Structure 1
């Protein structure tokens, strides 16, 4: 497996969102939910509509995976609403289904979606499905989320492993911003 990097520049993330939204609501949702939850691609591809939307049609605030609650922020909720408006799936449908087979897209298809979009918006370097998780971790850390919480989400053994995984160099100055 080749090393892939997080997307560190916010303007590149916005470009990816715009590009993917024009292409497909499903692909846009995959990117948005991936960078905002830090879930593994295998976890994302197993999601069903009923995991994120209740029987009344309301978007859930949390999903539970492996005894861990995963918060669905406003970005994710907007992307879900947009996707549901475009596709109108049933509760038992896969969230990231192939229009042809109605089964979840494959990891390889998810890779192509992310990689092709990154190339289209001029992101240099290696990009893949782990880029989504790494982007979540990188931006969570730079916004002040404790590395111990990110480590727990990623189920990693050490904080050093998590810092390396999300692309934080030991030489990078750590910004501490207390705004009381």
Structure 2
């Protein structure tokens, strides 16, 4: 899967993307609300190779896509099928250096359109740490609705955290 938006190229990861992706995931602020810790020089190749291997969305495999802006990878989009029929979950991370430019909104909203139009998914959802206000705002900007707030339901990084679930149907797309 590869597509472009007004300012972005969204494509599978390439070997040459390692340093750009490391810059995203080596940042403590970026990883604060993610399920994994920040990448280190010792584990970056192992973690990046998993992204390289995720080039196809199927019931058995996750899709990982690079978001490229001005020839640099500034974001990572992930999609995987849930156990529910025709339902996918999305995840995303972006470089702090592009915050406030609308690039994350542009990338995620275009991914959502692709998922509904090309993959004919019935529903998509995003589960996030309730403290991640920027991610909540992104979900709302692209037309997702907040469907649930779970209190201290997830044990992550040695603490109980709240989770929020956003959902969307094709009929929710902003025209």
TM-score scaled by structure 2? 0.31
Larger radius of gyration: 1
TM-score scaled by structure 1? 0.31
| Higher relative contact order, structure no. (Cα contacts within 8 Å, ≥ 6 residues apart) | 1
Q: Which has the higher helix share?
A: 1
Q: Which has the higher strand share?
A: 2
